[in-house]
Amino acid sequence: MESKQWYMEYKIHKNRPGLLGDIASMLGMLEVNILTINGVEGKTRGMLLESDDDEKIRLLGEMLAKVNSITVSALRQPKLVDILAVRHGRYIDRDSDDRKTFRFTRDELGLLVDFLGEVFKREGNQVIGLRGMPRVGKTESIIAGSVCAMKRWTFVSSTLLRQTIRSQLSEDELNPNNVFIIDGIVSTIRSSERHYNLLQDIMTMPSTKVIEHPDIFVQESEYDFNDFDIIIELRNNPNEEIIYDTFTASYTDEL
């Protein structure tokens, strides 16, 4: 059987000396490899495991269920959030009502970049919305995530250095393997017909599109939130409100 990865997470009730060693010994006897291990938020520990025998993983779960010092809270094939939790020692904050919405703060930019890098590696069409106030690090995170994914990025519209509104792209820039960066305010409130036609073409491409200010983009265009696969919220602090009225005026002052 081909080797598969598994994510195991357990909560520690009594962190007695030798607990981790006992669990590692159990894994060793079952010939289950530990790929990564890390504490995840307090008294929770996460492990990425590898095994070529699903039955051994089932037995592992049954054996650990008899250990009073811990409670296994997850034993499954890893999701992206599991891999990042072990890598960074914390879980990504996720909206309980809308599971495709992920929340980050500015002091978690490393985690956000890692998350984006893994998402950008996926093939095919995906649309990612990125909410956040000005100068919080949205565009910089997208670029850094593209670098992590070893992908080229293409600005369709942006205000990173100066206001950019593209009406055509070169053949290299239109490569579906690129990450297309779109400012949702610039591309709707300030766009020309030629730019909007280009935008429509890009939206149909089997590629990754990241749209900053997705709420304005949806409000001012034919698209809706069903077109988005992931929504990311980036704040300076957890309590910051993302209020568009405070900065959308600067986009229309020259109209």
Q: Tell me how far apart the alpha carbons of residues 154 and 157 are, in angstroms, rounded to a whole number.
A: 9
Q: CB–CB of 84/112 below 8 Å?
A: no
pTM above 0.85, yes or no: yes
- Per-residue pLDDT of 160-201, as tens digits, reads 767 889 999 999 999 999 999 999 999 998 778 999 999 999
Is 92-252 CATH 3.30.1330? no
Per-residue tokens: 222: 């034919």
Per-residue tokens: 234: 């980036």
- Per-residue pLDDT of 18-62, as tens digits, reads 999 999 999 999 999 999 999 987 789 999 999 999 999 999 999
Per-residue tokens: 29: 């006897």
Quickly state the pLDDT bin for 149 (edges 50, 70, 90): very high
Rounded alpha-carbon distances, angstroms, from residue 217 to 129, 179, 199, 248, 254? 9, 18, 11, 12, 19
Quickly state the pLDDT bin for 255 (edges 50, 70, 90): very low
Determine the pLDDT at residue 7. Answer: 97
Does residue 98 carry a pLDDT above 90? Answer: no
Task: For residue 238, give the amino acid letter.
Answer: P
**Residue-range domain boundaries for the chain:** 4-84, 92-252
- Closest-CA residue to 153 (of 164, 142, 162, 161): 142
Residue for token digits 């999701």? 79
Q: Tell me how far apart the alpha carbons of residues 205 and 221 are, in angstroms, rounded to a whole number.
A: 18
Determine the pLDDT at residue 254. Answer: 46
What is the CB-side half-sphere exposure of residue 196 using CA atoms within 13 A? 12
Determine the pLDDT at residue 2. Answer: 87
Determine the pLDDT at residue 212. Answer: 96
Q: Tell me how far apart the alpha carbons of residues 49 and 78 are, in angstroms, rounded to a whole number.
A: 9
Give the ranges where the chain is alpha helix by DSSP (H).
19-29, 54-64, 80-88, 109-120, 138-148, 186-189, 193-203, 214-219, 249-252
DSSP annotation of 245: G
Determine the pLDDT at residue 192. Answer: 87
Determine the pLDDT at residue 247. Answer: 61
Class of domain 4-84: alpha beta
Quickly state the pLDDT bin for 15 (edges 50, 70, 90): confident
DSSP annotation of 92: P
Determine the pLDDT at residue 54. Answer: 95
Report, as an integer, the average pLDDT of 243-248: 71
Report, as an integer, the average pLDDT of 95-123: 93
Q: CB–CB of 75/206 below 8 Å?
A: no
Q: Tell me how far apart the alpha carbons of residues 202 and 154 are, in angstroms, rounded to a whole number.
A: 11
193: left (phi over 0), alpha (psi -120 to 50) or beta: alpha
- 164-165 and 157-158 beta bridge pairing: antiparallel
- Residue 172 CB neighbour total at 10 angstroms: 9
Q: CB–CB of 6/51 below 8 Å?
A: yes
CB-based burial, 130-154: b 16+ in 10 Å, e otherwise: bbbbeebbbbebbbbbbebbebebb
